Structure 1
Amino acid sequence: MDIEVTRKLTIPAAELGWRFSRSSGPGGQHVNTSDSRVELSWDVAASRVLSDEQRSRILNKLAHRIVAGTLTLAVSEQRSQLRNRETAREKLGDLVAGALAPDGPKRRATKPTRGSQQRRLQTKGKRSEVKRNRQRPGLD
């Protein structure tokens, strides 16, 4: 099943790799017998649906999650393998859509106002007064 990232970008099912294993955590006998944990991997570097600009943007934005050009997600939130597969597809779509989204506006540098500077210095003076009053008298 394909993953629709945006209206213009859909990741074909042929480019997705699935691995299944036993999930950890509570669940009793069910966890010990079913392979409900899902690993979804997508080779970003070799994908045919991405333009060069999209590929470089994804590789830059998700560099901490990509190993050897492959983006891998592990999902074991649900008890059912089918639900975990659906969750993994949604997460991959959201992750890629977030990486391809344009950057927000740049922060405009501002200076602190005179009032905020005065308030800062007043609270600083009060704090030093409190600490000065904690000292034993006559230790000047």
Structure 2
Amino acid sequence: MNWETIERELELRTSRSSGAGGQHVNKTESRVELVLDVNASQGLSRREKDNLRFHLSSRLDGHGRLSVTDQSDRSQHTNRKRALASMRQLLERGIRNPPKKRKAGAFKANNRKRLDRKKRTGEKKAGRGKIDW
């Protein structure tokens, strides 16, 4: 992952924050949204893009774009820094390799328990036979 390249590819959008704040909120654009087009990114390798699509599939929109929003502070500058940090953390977590698939199967102990249970049931049923007098 080449963070400098990715940082240049990020699309920055600003808008008015929601919530309390009175007139200040109504006149300043302090909400920051960063958007990265994962499919078109030059800062990510093919494997990293595949890993991102695997881990962050619920965060990607229909066009393969990943967005992060921050509006926690009154300052657009602070919100931009937080959104950048959040995007970087999200990408670093998302590019890790998917977990390896393990072969599914029964445990040996379970198989042994099942056979023991069958043996006890067979002995119980064998004891139900007719009695020779």
**TM-score > 0.5 by shorter chain:** yes
Matches within 5 A, 1:1-140: 9-12=2-5, 13-67=7-61, 68-102=63-97
Query: Please, what is the CA RMSD of the aligned residues?
Result: 2.4
SS of the residue 1:83 aligns to? helix
Question: Residues 41-86 of structure 1, C-alpha deviation per residue, up to 9 Å, x if partnerless?
Answer: 0111000121111110011111111111110111101110000000
The structure carrying a bigger strand percent of its residues is 1
Q: Which runs of 5+ in 1 are unaligned?
A: 1-7, 112-140
Cross-structure match for 1:129: none
Amino acid at match of 2:13: R
Runs of 4+ residues over 6 Å off in structure 1: 104-107
Identity of aligned residues (%): 38
Question: Residues 78-121 of structure 1, C-alpha deviation per residue, up to 9 Å, x if partnerless?
Answer: 110000000000000000111123457889x988xxxxxxxxxx
SS of the residue 2:66 aligns to? strand
Amino acid at match of 1:53: R
TM-score normalized by the length of structure 2: 0.69
TM-score normalized by the length of structure 1: 0.66
Q: Hey, what's the Cα distance between the residues in 1 that align with 2:51 and 2:96?
A: 9
Q: Which runs of 5+ in 2 are unaligned?
A: 110-133
Q: Hey, what's the Cα distance between the residues in 1 that align with 2:64 and 2:99?
A: 26
1:10 CA drift (Å) = 1.3
